[in-house]
Amino acid sequence: MPVTLADVARASGVNISTVSRALRGTYGVHRRTRQRVLEAAERLNYRPNRVARGLATGRSLTLGLIVSDIRNPYFAEVARGAEDAACRAGYDVVLCNSDLDPLKQMRYVRSLLEKRVDGLLMNSVADLDRPQQQELAGCGVPIVLLNATPGVQAFSTVTGDNVAGGRLAGAYLAGLGHRVIAHLSGTRRQANLAARARGFLKAMQAAPVTAAPVVIHGEHTYQGGYEMTRKLLDRHPKVTAVFAGNDAIAFGAIRAILEAGRSVPEDLSVVGFDNLELAAIIRPPLTTIHQPKYEMGQAAVEILLRQAGHSEPSAPEHHVLGVELVERQSCRRL
């Protein structure tokens, strides 16, 4: 049904391969024949079949994006950056939600490879076991990992500067005069949250804090933040400031603080991490570490595109993007 190269060739009285060349404008083709071809293609409303082209060239002009859940605004932002960059280069991206389930993750990877994607963008693969990681490493297409510790794996990585961010948050709070500061982190296996904690602790060492900082671990979610904070209020009444490992935790923390009849920032200062859109909207507006999510998606795709050309697996690239503190109204000077 759809019109093919052969149809255009027939209509313009030249050979099919001439049509191919004329349409793509690679080789020299006589101006007049090219003209004829273009007209015929236009008239017949010719649309190249990218599947066929993909088979012939071995490149699908498609990238795979595996995130845990696109409903997480963090990943939505990354996805948008990735999609824009891909689109600009003529690529498109197929979206997969893994829910952080290793099996689901591998199923998607295999499926994408069968589709011959030219590159794979996924969040950290820390939850994959050795053989699975091996399989990935040897799959033949470039892979870039989001929020993975650079250099640990054989893959390229793009991440925000978590250590610097943690340090920034800690130093800011200390600079405001706080002396008893708590940190609400995620589960210990979350590499990026661990890095934020590390940075924070480093800042604490350099600061005139009176007590060793309290660090609480839990789920890195709104709910988790809520629960950690209830525990905190209960057990550590002297704390005057808290640094949350991410904004979701911070939102939960604020909720818990308000519910306990105390107020932010009068009684307790809080700073988050990520700078989700919501951070500016919530009351009080949240002071937080901005992570360039859109740019991270973008950077990841650019790496992929750069490496997709080479048939030899290229050396992994590692980008760590700068973060900055966005001051709003959830902290006060002591």
Partner DNA sequence: CTGAAAGCGCTAACAG
Partner DNA sequence: CTGTTAGCGCTTTCAG
Q: Which chain residues interact with DNA by CB under 7 A?
A: 2, 4-6, 13-18, 20-21, 23-24, 26-30, 32-34, 48-49, 52-53, 55-58
Residue 222 touches which of DNA, its own copies, none (CB < 5 to 8 A by kind)? its own copies
- Binding of residue 120 to its own copies (CB under 8 A): no
Can you read off the two tokens belonging to residue 276?
């989700």
Neighbouring C-beta atoms of residue 171, cutoff 10 Å: 18
Dmax (CA) of the chain: 87
Distances in Å between the alpha carbon of 159 and those of 25, 124, 311?
A: 39, 10, 26
Question: Contact letters (x/-) for its own copies, 235-274, by CB under 8 A?
Answer: ----------------x---x--x----------------
Residue 314 binds to its own copies (criterion: CB under 8 A): no
- Helix, strand, coil percentages in the chain from 3-state DSSP, rounded to 5: 45, 15, 35
d(CA 38, CA 34): 6
- Taking each helix axis from N to C end, the angle separating 16-24 and 5-12, rounded to the nearest 10 degrees, works out to 100
Alpha-carbon span 132 to 22, nearest angstrom: 45
**Binder to its own copies among 38, 44, 84, 201 (CB under 8 A)?**
84
Residue closer to its own copies (CB basis): 113 or 201: 113
Q: Is residue 6 close enough to count as binding its own copies by CB under 8 A?
A: no
Stretch that binds its own copies, among 79-87, 157-165, 176-184, 317-325 (CB under 8 A): 79-87
Query: Is residue 212 a contact residue for its own copies (CB under 8 A)?
Result: no
Evaluate whether 269 touches 330 at the Cβ level (below 8 Å). Answer: yes
Q: Shortest Cβ distance from residue 92 to its own copies (Å)?
A: 5
15 binds, options DNA, its own copies, none, Cβ within 5 to 8 A by partner type: DNA
